[in-house]
Structures are given as C-alpha cells and as structure tokens.
Amino acid sequence: MLIAGLILAVLAGAFHVFIFVLESVRWTQPATRRIFGVRSEADAETMKQLAFNQGFYNLFLALAAFLGVVLAICGLSTAGVTLALTGTGMMLAAALVLVIADRTKLRAAVMQGALPLLAVVALALGGA
C-alpha cells in the first residue's frame, strides 16, 4: 500500500505542477482563460498577479509531496511519508475549501482533490 501511496502522491504532485503552469505561466492564454472561466483578456490581466501567486502555492504543495516520495525511497520512511502526507493532505484540504466556498466548483474540486485523497488514504494505510 505504501508504494501505491507514493505513486499517487507523485501523480497528485504532477497535476499540481500542471496547475502551477496554467496559473503562473499561461494565465492570459485563451485556452487557460477558458479552463478557469475568465471571460476576457482584460479580466485575466487584472487577476494575473493573484493567479501567479496562487500557482506557486500549488507548486510548493507538489514539491512537498515529491520530496516526501524521494525521502521514502531513500529509506527515510517516517520523514518521507510525513512530508508526502503533508503535501497531499494540503492539496485535499484546498480542494475541500474550493467546493465549500463555491458549490459550482465541484468538478474542479474533484479534479484537484481526487488523487490527493487516494494518496492520503494509501499513505495512511501503508505508511511508516
């Protein structure tokens, strides 16, 4: 179960790196604006600094999960699982906040939180 949890943590982290790229690198691009429901380029420009910052939050969560996986693979199981759980647990919490704040964001919350939820469960069951 630990191996499954570590794989899921990597997948959750990879998805959050993708979100980072959308929010911090490609925010004003038409395809990205459509994904986030931003109606105009002017609106995207207004929100750009906020999205840039938010993207880095997603990147840092991913890095925590990745570092946890690396530590676990290197034999530091307790520290690795703890860090992977920290990263994926915060990803899951962010998804819950999204849907609690706006029920219309259920689809986005599921996309953002499904892999972290599976990772948390698997890591908790198979962890150190």
**Confidence at 124, pLDDT banded by 50, 70, 90:** very high
> Following DSSP, what letter does each residue of 13-33 receive, concatenated?
HHHHHHHHIIIIISTTSHHHH
Nearest by Cα to 19 from 42, 44, 51 = 51
In one letter, which amino acid is 51? A
Confidence check: pLDDT of 128 > 80: no
Q: Do the beta carbons of residue 6 and residue 72 sit within 8 Å?
A: yes
C-alpha span between 81 and 95 (Å, rounded): 21
pTM of the complete model: 0.91
C-alpha span between 62 and 118 (Å, rounded): 15
| pLDDT given at position 64 | 98
Contacts of 78 (CB under 8 A, 6+ apart): 128
Nearest by Cα to 90 from 112, 110, 73, 67 = 112
Confidence check: pLDDT of 127 > 90: no
Mean pLDDT over 69-94 rounds to: 96
Report pLDDT digits (tens) over 19-55: 999 999 999 999 999 999 999 999 999 999 999 999 9
In one letter, which amino acid is 46? T
In one letter, which amino acid is 87? G
| pLDDT given at position 89 | 97
| pLDDT given at position 114 | 97
